[in-house]
Amino acid sequence: MLMTLIQKEIMHHILSARFVALLLMCVLLIPLTFFISYRHHRQNQVDYQEAVKRASTEAKENPPDAQDPDKEVSKLFLKPTPLSVFANGLEEALPTYLGMTRNGIRQSTTGLTQTPLSYALGHLDFLFVVSTVFSLLALLFTFDAVAGERETGTIRLTLANAIPRDRFLLGKLMGGYFVFVVPFLVSFLLGLLLLVWQGFPLGESAIFPRVVSLTLAALLYIAVFFAIGTVISTYFDNAKTALIVAFSIWVFAVLILPRVGFLTAKIIVPTRTEQSVYMEKAALRNDLLKEKQEKINKKMLEALGVGQFTVTEGVQEKLAGLRAPVEEEYRQKFQNQADKIDREYQREQNRQEQLGETFSRITPTASLIYLAMNLAQTGKLKRDTYFQTGNRYYNQLDQDYFKDISDDALAQMRHLTGRAMARMNPSAASSKSEAEKIPPAPDLTGASLKEALEYSMFDVLLLCVFAIVLTTVAFLKFFRLDV
């Protein structure tokens, strides 16, 4: 009996105009988005390789001058991930590199300032197609599952044949979901074949399991909207009313509420900008530099007295001995106060973001987006790993390189003299040793699939809860329905 109901529902959908619309969306959108996204990824890959090569060449030809506290002595580049073809996520919003200066970490200009109009229009990727287009199609497939039959009166004839209500509704759900999912999966496979033809590394052990996980997440999300459509259909006896309500819920659930969550968080928990924090640390360094120089000058006057003196090797060693403890004292003072500024700013950012995430998760769309981005290595997990790696690299540079740089006038004169001699004699050992003092940037390793799933487990469970609870509500309402 159940199979008969499923077959009936399948034939009902296949012969409808909505199935034609579904086929067109699947055949056109999924392969097209894969094709466009992978071409964009390959361009980003070329830009990344050229940027790394250019930075390496500049470092060899012109050794970095860390005497200037705003000078970038090294860069940590962000390598594009191939999985961005499925979910672009934060890929375009993150800085292409983190520049290491004595004043702190400076972020590069992102692509957002170069192409603001294209960013405002959004990205046409697989995640957008599933979260926006297929969620609407899922509601269109289910809004009249019960309401349409109640309106025409066919549900009375069907249930008059002693068919259990649970089997009737289950047959509608399974039949409609089957008709929806098959074209989706076929088009998805065609899109993957197109990607492989373009050179996408689908067979790699780090890629294929994530693609499978993304597919399962998309199927679960579609099931949630099938459940939403079924609930709407059981609560209304008119198909037109059910359609209007379904479309209104889709607008709020997909387009409005996920964004309102973060807007609300910005109002409740405002934060400073990244540039204001950087300028605050630069001002702190300048203030401490003046204070340090005054203290060094005072010690020099006490040690050498007022008047002319000959700068001999012994005097230089004495001056260096006077400067060293003062420079270390103020270096530690700057580092402690700069770390305090960074921690306060990070707490503000985390508080605002966590509140925005919590508010946005009122809809399943936000959960799918967070889950898909982390699986595709373009989400919050990748961003946090990127900045944490940059902070560790900066701490390493501070210990191995920045702490040996002095800001007093005599040290700057010696530094300028050494660089001038290096330019006149490029093969001089001093120019090589200056570059060799800088530790190389570490490799940016992403989280494994297991770590990504553990990090996103709350979103997975939330999607499952949405699907189970909404389906249960639909069945309970249908059991009490007066047909």
Q: What is the pLDDT of residues 68-107, one digit of tens each?
A: 777 888 888 999 999 999 999 888 888 889 988 877 788 8
Q: Which of 86, 82, 85 is nearest to 127 (CA)?
A: 86
| d(C-alpha 171, C-alpha 167), whole Å | 6
Give the pLDDT confidence of 163-209 residue by residue, as tens digits: 888 888 899 899 999 999 999 999 999 999 999 999 999 989 889 99
Using alpha carbons, select from 246, 229, 216, 191 the residue that is nearest to residue 13: 229
Residue 407 has pLDDT above 70, yes or no: no
Binning pLDDT at 50, 70 and 90, where does residue 373 land?
A: very high
Structure tokens at 258: 């996920």
pLDDT at 431: 45
pLDDT computed for residue 283 by the predictor: 87
Phi-psi region of 40 (alpha: psi -120 to 50; beta: other; left: phi over 0): alpha
- Residue in this structure with the two tokens 């640390």, named with its chain if needed: 281
| pLDDT value of position 106 | 83
Angle, to 10 degrees, between the axis of helix 364-375 and the axis of helix 313-360? 140
pLDDT digits (tens, 9 = 90+) for 324-334: 787 778 878 88
- Which of 11-25, 384-398, 414-428 has the lowest average pLDDT? 414-428
Task: Determine what percent of the chain is predicted with pLDDT higher than 70.
Answer: 86
Summarised one tens digit per residue, pLDDT across range 334-356 is 888 888 888 888 888 889 989 99
Instruction: Please check the confidence at residue 307 and state whether its pLDDT lies above 60.
Output: no
Name which of 250, 401, 280, 399 is nearest 344 in CA terms: 280
Using DSSP, state whether 338 is helix, strand or coil: helix
Burial class (CB in 10 A: 0-12, 13-18, 19+), 132: middle
Mean pLDDT of the chain: 84
Interaxial angle between packed helices 257-268 and 364-375, expressed in degrees from 0 to 180 and rounded to the nearest 10: 90
- Of 273, 287, 398, whose CA–CA distance to 345 is shortest? 273
Q: What is the DSSP letter of 379?
A: S
- Bigger pLDDT: 303 or 244? 244
User: What is residue 65's predicted lDDT score, i.e. its pLDDT?
Assistant: 66
pLDDT of residue 112: 46
Q: How far, in Å, are 15, 227, 234, 290 from residue 170 at the CA level?
A: 20, 11, 13, 77
So what's the pLDDT on residue 213? 96
Model confidence at 298, pLDDT cuts 50, 70, 90, reads confident
Alpha-carbon span 26 to 186, nearest angstrom: 8
Q: What is residue 116's predicted lDDT score, i.e. its pLDDT?
A: 53
CA-nearest of 338, 366, 136, 141 to 257 is 366
In sequence order, what E strands does 262-408 have? none
In this structure, are residues 19 and 141 in contact, taking their beta carbons and an 8 Å threshold?
no
**H or E element, residue 222:** helix 208-235
Tell me the two tokens of residue 125: 């990727």
Nearest to 64 by CA among 424, 477, 459, 397: 397
> Cα separation of 232 and 214, whole Å?
27
The percent of residues in the chain predicted with pLDDT above 90, rounded, is 38
Compute how many other C-beta atoms are within 10 angstroms of the C-beta atom of residue 443. Answer: 8
